[in-house]
Amino acid sequence: MSNTQHLQNFSTQVRRDILRMVHAVNSGHPGGSLGCTEFFTVLYQQLMDRKPGFDMNGIGEDLFFLSNGHISPVFYSVLARSGYFPVAELATFRKLNTRLQGHPTTHEGLPGVRVASGSLGQGMSVAIGAAQAKKLNNDNHLIYSLHGDGELQEGQNWEAIMYASAKKIDNLIATVDLNGQQIDGPTDEVLSMGNLKAKFEAFDWDVLEIKEGNDIDSIIKGMEEAKSRTGKGKPVCVLLHTIMGHGVDFMMHTHAWHGKAPNDEQLAIGLAQNYNTGGELDY
């Protein structure tokens, strides 16, 4: 099996997990989770230099911070299937006393989760702080973060973005999930942010775009290019063009599935559209 095929099969399984998790409790955020499935797969299965097990300090390894925490289903699935905690625990998503809260938290000690991200707009600041800590520790590993495009409407982001370039935080790769949708509708209609590439460049960031943000090979190529641009005096921003609800035809290209769970019939349709030819791994 080729590496690309392995990653595609892994992504398919993650989409099945996402659909089951939100269906089981009739709550959660499938749209953005499905749209970022390939990105998380590449990040944890190929891109990041990470150690076995989990150490909150993260010294000597790359670290990831999820800022748009509502897409926790994809995060939990990829963490579990990358060995951070048992896959069977995915069945506890959003249930009473679970470690898998609707938005990731740290007080229950879930391996892989380094910051609570229930409130949007804060992950950029946290990621920059972690990147500075790497420098202070003479640790040459990288910090990765993910942010929603609608999330960038939060003002705190832009203070952090200004700070990162001023302080030459060049060991950070911040990726923006550019799907053009948010909870109340298309981002351009809710609060247009104009040309994000121009905005980040105006704040003196190095910016690149991945036009096919749901294509495994495009993500690998783009993120490897982003890695090659670190260490050169500027923070790096990746604008990842994804499709909300990717992989489930009735969820795609609409904000309607931002925070809505499928019913029994819709679950069956979604699972049928994501049959894993590489072999079932379902919990």
Percent of the chain with pLDDT strictly greater than 70: 97
pLDDT of residue 278: 58
Per-residue pLDDT tens digits for 248-274 = 999 999 999 999 999 999 999 999 999
**Spatial separation of the C-alpha atoms in residues 241 and 225, rounded to whole Å:** 16
Per-residue pLDDT tens digits for 137-161 = 999 999 999 999 999 999 999 999 9
**Spatial separation of the C-alpha atoms in residues 167 and 177, rounded to whole Å:** 25
pLDDT of residue 2: 83
Give the pLDDT mean for 173-188: 94
pLDDT of residue 118: 80
pLDDT of residue 275: 85
Q: Is the pLDDT of residue 276 over 80?
A: no
Tell me which of 41 and 2 has the higher pLDDT: 41
Look up residue 63 and give its two tokens: 């670290």
Q: Is the pLDDT of residue 282 over 80?
A: no
Per-residue pLDDT tens digits for 3-37 = 999 999 999 999 999 999 999 999 999 999 999 99
**Spatial separation of the C-alpha atoms in residues 265 and 176, rounded to whole Å:** 32
**Quick check: helix, strand or coil at residue 181?**
strand
pLDDT of residue 281: 55
Give the pLDDT mean for 58-73: 97
- Please tell me the class of the 3-272 domain: alpha beta
Q: Choose among 151, 128, 131: nearest CA to 140.
A: 131
Q: Structural domain boundaries of the chain?
A: 3-272
Q: Choose among 32, 73, 36, 19: nearest CA to 262.
A: 19
**Spatial separation of the C-alpha atoms in residues 178 and 238, rounded to whole Å:** 10
